[in-house]
Amino acid sequence: MKKILFGATALAAVSTISTAYASDPIKLQLGGYLEYYAVGASQDSDYKKANRVNNFDMQGESEIWFSGVTTLDNGLSVGVRVELEGGSDHDGASDIIDESYLYVSGKFGKIELGSTDNIAYKMRAVAPNASYSEVDDDSIPRYLLRPFTDDNITDLGFDGDANKISYLTPKFYGIQFGVSYSPSNDAQGDDGVSASETIRKAANFDEAWAAGVSYEREIGAVGLLATAGYTVANGAGATDNGTTNGTAQDWAFGLNLTYQGFTLGGAYRGVSAKSNSGFSEYDGYGWDAGLMYSEGPYAVSLNYRQSITAGNAGIAGDNQIDTYAIGAKYTLGAGVDVFGQLAYADYDQEGTLQDNKGAYGGVVGIHLDF
């Protein structure tokens, strides 16, 4: 009888514990996007002849997202997100999985672990843009080719999707803080193999930090979003043992103002890199500004962006990019948008070796969210 009673008591205890921690297991849901667009461009005649640039192309990009979340009985939410490249990346990237990370959130804030962008990048405010061919990144150079790769966009961070740990505080009166730490840029950890820790070009880093802050509030009918961020990477320079360490750091500020369908905003990013850091060619700055108006299914925008980089040592002058763009979007239905963009770009290479002045082009395409 005692054995039966003891067994029943133990079973009840286990049931109680199970009930205390019971929660639905994570069930993955599908999401993502797919876009394709026709591109027409006219390049500088001398640059076009030297580089055999086409006037027309079809480009696109797609990703499939697997995401899910469960809420524990103690109130904590635990989630996962994996982003699968859809095989049509207009960057020509060879990776199969773009991002893969988990997170835990609650009253204390949010913690992220895994391969994803740093907090300073995620918290940034950018210039508003109606078209999916954004001007705050390198979308436009995909169809208005430039004679050099150095380009200071307003996105923060040298660590990309390196494995990292990030923490984001709750919002206090509209203010939120965040910090990220990347031990290395190697998915297998900091194993000392410099070739597997590549950052940007040939530069390596032992660790990278990022910090961000945002302030968001409504002032009457005006919406305000202001952000600031900072990242730093301790590079290993040209040597494997790091004896000639170089440091790269960047900082950025962003601002968005909204009022009755109008959004005005932009961002500034400065980059400071030592000559032995391996990515000193990005030493300089970049900034962008935009004005967008949206009403119902329509949206139109006007944008400008400039990039200044130091380029290669020993050659006079800087690499400069000036881009002007007009964008538009129309929503046909839930998750279905048609979009277009007209852009003009002036690429001025240091030493005037291969300038691509007077390049202009346009994009017409369709974007699907699912």
pLDDT in tens, 274-329: 665 555 667 889 999 999 999 999 999 999 999 888 766 555 567 888 989 999 99
Alpha-carbon gap, residue 6 to 12, rounded angstroms: 10
DSSP 8-state symbol, 172: B
pLDDT at 158 (0 to 100): 75
pLDDT at 344 over 60: yes
Cβ contact 335:30 at 8 Å: no
pLDDT at 154 (0 to 100): 82
Cβ contact 337:366 at 8 Å: yes
pLDDT at 89 (0 to 100): 55
Tally of CA atoms within 13 A in the half-sphere of 48 that contains its CB = 14
pLDDT in tens, 100-121: 999 999 999 999 999 999 999 9
- Which CATH topology does 28-369 take? Porin (2.40.160)
Residues 6 or more apart in contact with residue 310 via CB below 8 angstroms: 150, 280, 281, 282, 283, 284, 318, 319
pLDDT in tens, 197-208: 444 433 456 688
**What pTM does this model have?**
0.82
pLDDT at 82 over 70: yes
321 phi, psi to nearest 5 deg: -125, 125
pLDDT in tens, 154-167: 888 778 888 899 99
pLDDT at 91 over 60: no
Per DSSP, the chain holds a count of helices (H) and strands (E) of 3, 17
